[in-house]
Amino acid sequence: MTTIDLPLLPLGKGRDLDSERGVECPGDLPAASDPDLVARALAAKEALGERLFVLGHHYQRDEVIQFADVTGDSFKLAREAAARPAAEFIVFCGVHFMAESADILTADTQKVVLPDLAAGCSMADMARLGQVEDAWDALAEAGIQDAVVPITYMNSSADIKAFCGRNGGAVCTSSNAEVALEWAFAQKPEVEGGAKVFFFPDQHLGRNTAVLQMGYSLEDCVVWNPHLPNGGLTVQQLRDAKMILWRGHCSVHGRFRPEVIDELRAAHPGLNVIVHPECTHEVVTKADLVGSTEFIIKTIEAAAPGTTWAIGTELNLVKRLADAHPDKNIVFLDRNVCYCSTMNRIDLPHLVWALENLVAGNVVNQISVDPATEEWAQVALQRMLDLPGRTAKD
C-alpha cells in the first residue's frame, strides 16, 4: 500500500484513533446539548482574565465568535496575536495554518491553542512540502529555477512558508497579493525577460491577481499539477510562463458558479456582486467587486440602505452580514448551503473544553512550529510585512 502524506487522516474510521487529530479530546468534551455551555465559556474566560486572548476568524460559527476578543481574516488575526505579548494563551478559533502563523509571530513564552486539531484547510493541504520540493527540482532541471521567486498565500502550512523564506520568496494575503507579486517580479533584474513567480497553493488568487490586477494574460499563466510528471507541463511551457500556479483551490470558494450570477442579476435588477479572489476566474470576471473578507465587510458596511448584494464567500460570514444589515438585501451567491467544514469543527463544546483545561492548568491542542521551520517562515512573513503600503482593498 502506498503511504500518502496526508495531513489529516480520514476521521472516524477507527484505524488509528491516537493520530486522528481532534477526535480524541483528553478528558471530557462537553455535550453539544449542555445548556450551560455559554455560562461555562464565560466563567473560564473570566477566570483566565488577561492571560487569555481569543481570536475568531470571520468564517467561524456565531456560537464561537461571541467569545472572540477580536475577529478578522487570517492576516489581521496573526497581527493581533503578535500585538498581545501579555497574553499567555492565544486560543485561535480558526484553522491550523492560522494557528501556526500566530505561533510564529508570537513570543516563545506564549502558547497558541487550536480547540480542535482536525480544523485544517483543504487548500493548504493541497501543497505538501515534498511535492513543492520536487517541483522546485524540476524547475532547476528546466533551467529556470534561478529566475523563479516563490510566493505562498497565507493559507499554507508553515513548512511551505519556510520554503519560500529559504528560497528568496515571501507570503502574501488576499489583501496584498498584487503588491507581493509586484515585489516578486522585481526581484531578478539580472534575468533576461524578468522574474517568474511560482505561486502556492491557490491557483485562483494567483491567476486573478496577475491577470485582472496586473495586466498579464491567461497565456502567461500555467498550472503545475503535483500529481503529474513534470507538473503536466513541457519545459517550453515552463520557460514561456510568467506565473506558475500550483494546482490548489479552496473547496468552499470553488463552488460559486458564473451562471448563478447571471440568474441572480436577472432576478434582482441593480444587484451588486462581491466575491472573494479565491473564486474562479470566470466568477471573479463577472463580479462587480473583488476583495478579501475585510474588504467585503467594509464594503457592505458602507453600502447604501436598500441596495442588494450577492456575496461570494463563506456562509457564516454572509449570514452574519445579513443579520447585521437588515436595511440591505443580502443574498448568498450559491444555490446550496456552503460552509467551510473544517472551520466549523471549532464549535462551542471544543472551545469550552480548551478553555476549561487552561483554567485547570492543562495546555491542550497547543500548536507549536519547530524552530528551524519557524525561522524561515518568519523570514517569508517579514518580507510580506515589509512590502510597501497596502492595497486599497486592505
Quick one: which of 252, 297, 338, 367 contacts ligand SF4 (CB under 6 A)?
A: 252
Quick one: which of 106, 110, 152, 155 contacts ligand SF4 (CB under 6 A)?
A: 155
Is residue 314 a contact residue for ligand SF4 (CB under 6 A)?
Answer: yes
Task: Quote the least distance from Cβ 312 to ligand SF4, whole Å.
Answer: 12
Is residue 391 a contact residue for ligand SF4 (CB under 6 A)?
Answer: no
250 labeled part of a ligand binding site = yes
Of residues 207, 204, 97, the one with CA closest to residue 154: 97
Is residue 344 a contact residue for ligand SF4 (CB under 6 A)?
Answer: no
155 labeled part of a ligand binding site = yes
Helical packing angle, 96-105 and 74-82, nearest 10°: 30
154 labeled part of a ligand binding site = yes
Helices (H), the chain: 37-48, 62-65, 74-82, 96-105, 129-141, 158-166, 177-185, 203-208, 235-240, 258-267, 281-286, 293-302, 315-324, 348-359, 371-385
Task: Quote the least distance from Cβ 118 to ligand SF4, whole Å.
Answer: 13
Is residue 342 a contact residue for ligand SF4 (CB under 6 A)?
Answer: yes
Task: Quote the least distance from Cβ 162 to ligand SF4, whole Å.
Answer: 19
Terminus-to-terminus CA distance in the chain, angstroms?
Answer: 47
Task: Quote the least distance from Cβ 121 to ligand SF4, whole Å.
Answer: 3
338 labeled part of a ligand binding site = no
Task: Quote the least distance from Cβ 185 to ligand SF4, whole Å.
Answer: 25
Cell of 179: 503588491
Stretch that binds ligand SF4, among 39-47, 169-177, 217-225, 340-348 (CB under 6 A): 340-348
Tell me the CA distances in angstroms from 52 to 28, 78, 269, one per residue in order.
21, 15, 48
Spatial separation of the C-alpha atoms in residues 106 and 367, rounded to whole Å: 12
Spatial separation of the C-alpha atoms in residues 300 and 357, rounded to whole Å: 38
Degrees, nearest 5: CA angle 391-283-178: 20
Of residues 60, 122, 121, the one with CA closest to residue 91: 60
**Rg (the chain; Cα; Å):** 21
- Closer Cβ to ligand SF4, 314 or 347, answer by number: 314
- Closer Cβ to ligand SF4, 110 or 122, answer by number: 122
Task: Quote the least distance from Cβ 226 to ligand SF4, whole Å.
Answer: 18
Quick one: which of 340, 348, 364, 367 contacts ligand SF4 (CB under 6 A)?
A: 340
How many CB atoms lie under 10 A from the CB of residue 209?
28
Paired sense of beta strands 329-332 and 366-367, if any: unpaired
Quick one: which of 25, 118, 126, 250 contacts ligand SF4 (CB under 6 A)?
A: 250
Is residue 110 a contact residue for ligand SF4 (CB under 6 A)?
Answer: no
- Closer Cβ to ligand SF4, 82 or 123, answer by number: 123
Q: Which residues bind ligand SF4 (CB under 6 A)?
A: 59, 95, 121-123, 155, 250-252, 314, 340, 342-343
